[in-house]
Amino acid sequence: MWYFLNVIFNILNKKIYNYFPYPYFVSVIHLLVGVVYCLISWVVGLPKRAPIDSTLLKLLIPVAFCHALGHVTSNVSFAAVAVSFTHTIKALEPFFNAAASQFILGQSIPITLWLSLAPVVIGVSIASLTELSFNWTGFISAMISNISFTYRSIYSKKAMTDMDSTNVYAYISIIALLFCIPPAVIVEGPQLLKFGFNDAIAKVGLTKFVSDLFWVGMFYHLYNQLATNTLERVAPLTHAVGNVLKRVFVIGFSIIVFGNKISTQTGIGTCIAIAGVALYSFIKAKMEEEKRQTKVA
């Protein structure tokens, strides 16, 4: 379900950008639909809303800010370049995670882990050099997204509580939505009112336009919620390998659906990058497993 929802989200998201290129507004819709879903879930008691205090709120605000920034910049990249290219660049996320762990959190990163990241950097470089849909907006936005999600991971560690993941993600979504609304109004508001909405409705009709925005928001929320819940239920190694396979699925399906032409060099670079992510994920998860076993012993 995690894979299925993620693939559908990415395809529908790109289809919307093909006739409605307003990533800031679409980012708001993604979060808004999820927030409405969470509020209705709380009202019916599935799940029961966990109380939040000022201390927890202070911990969640940095997480939500990084989530909002990473989400918006991902969407700017999706709107600017091919889905497959954005996902190739986002394969660099483990590199930023390792760098932040080493230089910000002061954690010692083994040389084997650094070496496993070399194929990721090399593969992304090869893919970027010959990518047919390359432009700097898409590339830089995807890189900012990587950095934002890295800091989200760091702040999430500090915000670990006894609250279940469903409630935590609901609160993060609500706060992130508040961060996303002002830039959407400032950057895209005048264009949307002048011709953005009218152009989209003229191209696909009001019913399809509203329906697409609702469903893309629904798929976005559900795939994120399932990814969070999956992490709670499986070993880190299983989740890490699953996350890599998910990226392969998304890249593969986006190429098939949109008929994106990729050069042989881009394909080779993407494969090298994905293989590097798989190797990194495997080594990292194995280290965590050994750490856990040492604590139990």
Per-residue pLDDT of the chain (297 residues; tens, 9 = 90+): 888 888 889 889 989 999 999 999 999 999 999 999 999 999 998 888 988 888 888 889 998 999 999 999 999 998 888 777 777 777 777 777 777 777 776 777 788 878 887 887 787 777 666 656 677 888 899 889 888 887 877 777 666 667 777 888 899 999 999 999 999 999 999 999 999 999 999 999 999 999 999 999 999 999 888 877 776 666 555 555 566 667 677 777 777 776 766 778 778 887 887 788 778 778 877 877 777 787 776
Q: Decide if 274 is inside a domain.
A: yes
Q: Decide if 37 is inside a domain.
A: yes
Distance CA 256, CA 131 (A): 16
Q: Decide if 218 is inside a domain.
A: yes
Domain count, the chain: 1
- Of 52, 248, 224, whose CA–CA distance to 149 is shortest? 224
Q: Decide if 295 is inside a domain.
A: no
* Tokens linked to 262: 């990729």
pLDDT confidence of residue 289: 78
Q: Decide if 294 is inside a domain.
A: no
Query: The domain containing residue 195 runs over which residues?
Result: 1-284
Q: Decide if 18 is inside a domain.
A: yes
* Cα distances (angstroms) measured from residue 40 to each of 80, 162, 174: 34, 23, 13
pLDDT confidence of residue 267: 80
pLDDT confidence of residue 33: 96
Q: Decide if 266 is inside a domain.
A: yes
